[in-house]
């Protein structure tokens, strides 16, 4: 079986996340072309797999972020027990207005689920994109960020390298989660 690799690619102009992309402060998109997946998942399945694919080190960073963000008055994910969180995640339908943690569904179509959140320091969007091309199932994670103030600039300056490193790692783990789908 061939090994899937992650590549950084341009955000396609027909993606939901590409609307108003010229006004963003930052944008990136990572693609994994999977020859291992034997079905095309729905975009909502990518979001579920995303949350199930966090490495332990990333969870520690997220908890640190939540601790600091709360003290700075920034938006944080609602506190829930692990079992309750997993139950909610497994019931996730991907409807507009539905959310997981701070990722609210803003728009969707057959190949993309656009999520995001606006906050005082920055606004972010993350799209979960899936389509078939050249016999492979392509999984993409596309991100845009609008920095709103100095705090946003400092915050994203710290987050940007972490974001790029972990998104690639998580995307690879998502493929495995989708291959062994249990929801």
Q: What DSSP assignment string belongs to 42-71?
A: -HHHHHHHHHHT--HHHHHHHHHHHHHHHH
Q: What is the CATH number of the domain that holds 169?
A: 3.30.530
How many other CB atoms are there within 10 angstroms of residue 85's CB atom?
16
Question: Does some domain include residue 183?
Answer: no
Question: Does some domain include residue 127?
Answer: yes
Do the beta carbons of residue 119 and residue 106 sit within 8 Å?
no
What pLDDT, on the 0 to 100 scale, is given for residue 79? 62
- Please give the Cα distance from 33 to 132 (Å, whole number): 9
What pLDDT, on the 0 to 100 scale, is given for residue 80? 56
Question: Does some domain include residue 82?
Answer: yes
**What is the pLDDT of the chain when averaged over all its residues?**
89
Question: Does some domain include residue 1?
Answer: no
What pLDDT, on the 0 to 100 scale, is given for residue 45? 97
At 18-66, the pLDDT tens digits run 999 999 999 999 999 999 999 999 999 999 999 999 888 887 777 776 7
DSSP 25: S
Which tops the pLDDT comparison, 72 or 129?
129
Rounded mean pLDDT, 148-157 = 91
Residue 82: pLDDT above 70?
no
What pLDDT, on the 0 to 100 scale, is given for residue 18? 97
Which tops the pLDDT comparison, 71 or 26?
26
- Please give the Cα distance from 92 to 70 (Å, whole number): 25
What pLDDT, on the 0 to 100 scale, is given for residue 65? 67
At 88-117, the pLDDT tens digits run 899 999 999 999 988 999 999 999 999 999
At 154-181, the pLDDT tens digits run 889 988 999 999 999 999 999 999 999 9
144, containing H or E segment: strand 136-147
Sorting pLDDT into bands at 50, 70 and 90, what band is 81? low
Range of the domain at 166: 6-177
What pLDDT, on the 0 to 100 scale, is given for residue 155? 83
Overall domain count for the chain? 1
Residue 83: pLDDT above 60?
no
Question: Does some domain include residue 81?
Answer: yes
């Amino acid at each position: 079986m061939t090994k899937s690799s992650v590549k950084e690619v341009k955000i396609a102009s027909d993606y939901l996340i590409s609307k108003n992309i010229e006004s963003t402060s930052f944008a990136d998109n990572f693609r994994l072309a999977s020859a291992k997946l034997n079905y095309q998942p729905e975009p909502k399945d990518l979001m579920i797999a995303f949350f199930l694919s966090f490495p332990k080190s990333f969870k520690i960073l997220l908890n640190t972020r939540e601790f600091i963000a709360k003290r700075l008055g920034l938006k944080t994910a609602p506190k829930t027990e692990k079992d309750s969180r997993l139950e909610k995640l497994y019931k996730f339908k991907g409807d507009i207005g539905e959310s997981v943690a701070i990722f609210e569904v803003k728009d969707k179509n057959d190949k993309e689920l656009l999520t995001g959140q606006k906050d005082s320091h920055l606004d972010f969007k993350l799209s979960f994109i899936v389509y078939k091309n050249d016999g492979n199932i392509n999984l993409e994670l596309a991100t845009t960020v609008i920095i709103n103030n100095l705090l946003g600039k400092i915050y994203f300056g710290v987050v940007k390298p972490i974001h790029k490193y972990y998104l690639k790692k998580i995307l690879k783990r998502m493929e495995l989660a989708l291959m062994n789908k249990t929801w």
